[in-house]
Amino acid sequence: MYTEWNLAVKFLRDARGQTAMISVAITVGVAVIIYIVALITGLQANMINRTLGTQAHIKVYAPKEINLPAPLENGELRLMLEDPRAQRLRSINNWQNLRDLFDADAELLAVSPLASGPAFAQRGTAHMSVALIGIDPVRYQRVIPIANDIIAGEFRIGAGNAVVGSRLADELGLHVSDKLRIDAGGSDSGREAVLSVTGIFELGVRELDERYIYLDLPQAQALLGLPGGITTIDLLVPDVFSAERIAARLHHLTGLKVESWMQTNSQLMSALKAQRLSTSMISFFVAISVAFGIASVLSISIVQRTREIGILRAMGATRRQMLTVFLLQGALLGLAGAIAGSACSYALAWAFNTFGPGLFQIVIWPGLLISASAIATLTGLIAAAIPARRAARLDPVAAIRYA
Amino acid sequence: MPEEVLHLARVHKSYNIGQPAQTEVLHGIDLHLARGDFAALIGPSGSGKSTLLNLIGLLDTPSAGEIHLLGRPTQTMNDTERTMHRACAIGFVFQFHHLINSFSVMENILMPLMLTRGKPKLQDTQLAYTLLAEVGLADHATRRPDELSGGQQQRVAVVRALITRPALLLADEPTGNLDTTSADSVFQLLRRFHQEFGCAVLLVTHDPRLSSACDRTIKIIDGHIVSDTSHIASGDNSH
């Protein structure tokens, strides 16, 4: 291998111009691939983080209420006009046991039962339709760290206190320590209360900032007419992409309706998938054009070195040795381009992080560099295969005569 | 009887076999070369000299007939075996020096050894230096071939051909591209190394001066050997 290595390195070094040009092409290709993969990964992570910053990974609901018609007799045929039932607010049965069960589950990071339902918020003559979210603040914060998004006041809920969204506060002209009237079931039901605003949050999601009112769990239960009950259990999992699988398992375990964030955000998921697909396609085509670049440079190099190949063969170089020399050149070009391309992608990422929109940071992780370098080297090797075979098959007699 | 290096029996060579343009270049060549032979192969252009040299050098295969190199039949060898045999037993000097410019003079000389054995050993490098000194180029070892004159390059090529201590040295018009002085010095070099290494030398040449200075002249016309004369001449011959 010593001699083959020497020949490959010297051939590359001597054809300085060609080597430099194709190296630049490979460098650009590798840099583009690394940069775009890192960019899309960062973008997707950012989108997922934003989405999951305001919602649980998995939500557990009480099963839907359905009509249960009497079973059919043997041979009986029945025509049925079914009127689906309206889904009233119901509690998850036995939720304390479920909570303890989930708490003990190794795959769940946080468990937060909550009671939520619709209500009207009123201040003066203004009415707004809102969603009451009754929470256990400690547990809830583990799922959604809402305290980070407080823009006025503080995140403190308890008897008679509420934390409202910024748009709702805006609409109703609320400030911290203002009073707010909540009506969750008509004036004669007794399910109404006057709350004091202790904090205003802004999650950056219009729907939530306009409608959410956080309350203490017991107070929400009372307002929603669910004494001691909860409507939902929010769950957090360590790996966001395992949510689907864990949701399916929990559904089998409990028989409840279990929804992962991936189901809830199916549009986002297909957008992410499409993005990943386009990234792979771009990477693939860049790699293909780099491969053809390497192949064409080596083809030219073989024509230029025909006589040298002939001399080497006459001096005792075997076909396999000539094959190795040119395969090595391909691999070396790929590797050199990969190293330079990695450095360039770092520079690109730095430029994006420093001068870019600042929405998110592009992080280039070592594994990406290693796999990109391995792929580039392999691409060089494969691209060199056809020219290298031609070099190996050159007839030494004809090659020596080659002017 | 000196040891036989090369033996050709009824060797034919045709090109474009099976096609209308099939032409036979060599018609049943018989040839012996023994260790210590210093032979010139002469003949007009197109007579088949180079073809014969390529066959002897195992760069090409005959259409019919047998070539034995150092007693081993070569027609049944595959490409790799022929290459290995060539690397061990044959040294080449071409008309154009055919050194590789990417490598220094020293590396060029060691190349045949590097191809078969990998990294050169100390004694190989020492031998190369000794030979290089003998041809008067000791201080050119690290230079590139294209920095040398034509005569110097050809002398380096001779040293390269001899570094493996081959049993047979094939030279294809080694002086054809040189002025008379350089040609003479290269020829003297071949003579000297022939003595020193005791190898057989087969020299293709157009130059009657050179062929008459050889111990033996083989004349080939239209693919037939027409004469094979031994004339132990002016130069002293130890055999």
ipTM of the modeled complex: 0.85
Distance CA A138, CA A140 (A): 6
B238 assigned to some structural domain:
no
Q: What is the CA radius of gyration of chain A?
A: 33
Contacts of A400 in chain B (CB under 8 A): 59, 94, 98
Strands A161-165 and A192-201, sheet pairing: parallel
B88 domain residue, yes or no: yes
What residues of chain B score a pLDDT lower than 50?
1, 233-239
- Cβ of B111 and A315 within 8 Å? yes
Set of chain A residues whose Cβ sits within 8 Å of the Cβ of B103: 10
- Asked if A29 and A290 touch (Cβ cutoff 8 Å), the reply is yes
Contacts A13 to B, Cβ<8 Å:
102
> Could you read off the pLDDT of A199-217 as tens digits, one per residue?
999 988 888 999 999 999 9
Contact criterion met (CB below 8 Å) for B42 and B206: yes
Total structural domains in chain B?
A: 1
Residue B237 inside a domain? The answer is no
Among A3, A311, A400, beta carbon nearest to B118: A3
On the 0-12 / 13-18 / 19+ scale of CB atoms within 10 A, B153 is buried
Indicate yes or no: CB of B114 within 8 angstroms of CB of A3: yes
A-B CB pairs within 8 A amount to 66
| Prediction pTM value | 0.76
The total of other beta-carbon atoms located within 10 Å of residue A196's CB is 13
Residue with tokens 């090595």: A328
State whether B101 and A14 contact (CB < 8 Å): yes
Using the Cβ of B94 and the Cβ atoms of chain A, whether some distance falls under 8 Å is answered with yes
User: How far is residue A245's CA from residue A257's CA, in Å, rounded to a whole number?
Assistant: 14
Domain that includes residue B27, residue range: 4-230
Q: Nearest by CB to A11, which of B94, B102, B116?
A: B102
Phi, psi of A276 (to 5 degrees): -65, -40
- Whether B233 contacts chain A with CB within 8 A: no
What is the separation of C-alpha A340 from the centre of its chain, rounded to a whole number of angstroms?
28
The closest CB to that of B83, out of A3, A308, A318, belongs to A318
Nearest-by-Cβ selection for B59 from A7, A319, A397: A397
Please tell me whether residue A304 adopts helix, strand or coil conformation. Answer: helix
Q: Out of A14, A308, A315, whose CB is closest to B115?
A: A315
Q: Does B84 touch chain A (CB under 8 A)?
A: yes
Contact (CB<8Å) B101/A312: no
Indicate yes or no: CB of B115 within 8 angstroms of CB of A396.
no
Handedness of CA A362, A363, A364, A368 (dihedral sign): negative
Angle between helices A366-393 and A16-52 (to 10 degrees): 150
pLDDT in tens, chain A (403 residues): 888 898 899 888 888 888 899 899 999 999 999 999 998 988 888 888 888 888 889 999 988 888 888 888 888 888 888 888 888 888 888 899 999 999 998 889 999 999 999 999 988 888 889 999 999 999 999 998 888 889 989 998 888 899 999 999 999 999 999 999 998 876 667 788 899 999 999 988 888 999 999 999 999 998 998 888 999 999 999 888 899 999 999 999 888 999 999 888 888 889 889 998 999 999 899 989 988 988 898 888 888 888 888 888 888 888 899 999 999 999 999 999 999 999 999 998 899 889 888 778 888 888 988 998 899 899 999 999 999 998 888 888 878 776 5
d(CA A305, CA A237): 61
What is the 3-class SS of chain B, one letter each residue? CCCEEEEEEEEEEEECCCCCCCEEEEEEEEEEEECCCEEEEECCCCCCHHHHHHHHCCCCCCCEEEEEECCEECCCCCHHHHHHHHHHHEEEECCCCCCCCCCCHHHHHHHHHHHHHCCCCHHHHHHHHHHHHHCCCHHHCCCCHHHCCHHHHHHHHHHHHHCCCCCEEEEECCCCCCCHHHHHHHHHHHHHHHHHHCCEEEEECCCHHHHHHCCEEEEEECCEEEEEEECCCCCCCCC
- The CATH number for B130's domain is 3.40.50.300
Which residue type sits at A81? L
Both tokens assigned to B184: 């003479």
Asked if residue B133 belongs to a domain, the reply is yes
- Asked, for residue B15, whether it belongs to a domain, the answer is yes
**Residues of A in Cβ contact (< 8 Å) with B92:** 314-315
Q: How far apart are CA A95 and CA A230, in angstroms?
A: 7
Q: Is B221 part of the contact surface with chain A (CB cutoff 8 Å)?
A: no
**Closest residue to A2, CB basis, from B84, B112, B118:** B118
* Chain B environment of A315 (Cβ under 8 Å): 87, 92, 111-112, 115, 160
Query: Does residue B239 form part of some domain?
Result: no
* DSSP designation for A299: H
Residue B236 in domain: no
Give A386's contacts (C-beta < 8 A, 6+ positions apart). Answer: A295, A299
Name every chain A residue with its beta carbon within 8 A of the beta carbon of B107. Answer: 6
Q: What is the pLDDT of residues A240-264, one digit of tens each?
A: 889 999 999 999 988 899 999 988 8
> Of the candidates A3, A13, A397, which has its C-beta nearest B115's C-beta?
A3
Give the closest of A7, A308, A316 to B112, CB-based: A316
**Given CB atoms, is B98 within the 8 Å cutoff of chain A?**
yes
CA distances from A68 to A77, A336, B26, B149 (A): 17, 70, 101, 105
Question: Residues in chain A whose beta carbon is closer than 8 A to a beta carbon of chain B?
Answer: 1-3, 6-7, 10-11, 13-14, 307-308, 311-321, 396-397, 400
The answer to whether residues A326 and A391 touch, using CB atoms and an 8 Å cutoff, is yes
B78 in contact with A at a CB cutoff of 8 Å? no
**H/E segment holding residue A179:** strand A179-183
Q: What are phi and psi of B60, to 5 degrees?
A: -140, 165
Check CB contact of B59 with chain A, cutoff 8 Å: yes
**CA–CA min distance B234, chain A (Å):** 33
A292 CA to chain B: closest CA distance, Å?
Answer: 26
8 Å CB contact of B102 and A3 = no
- The answer to whether residue B16 neighbours chain A at the CB level (below 8 Å) is no
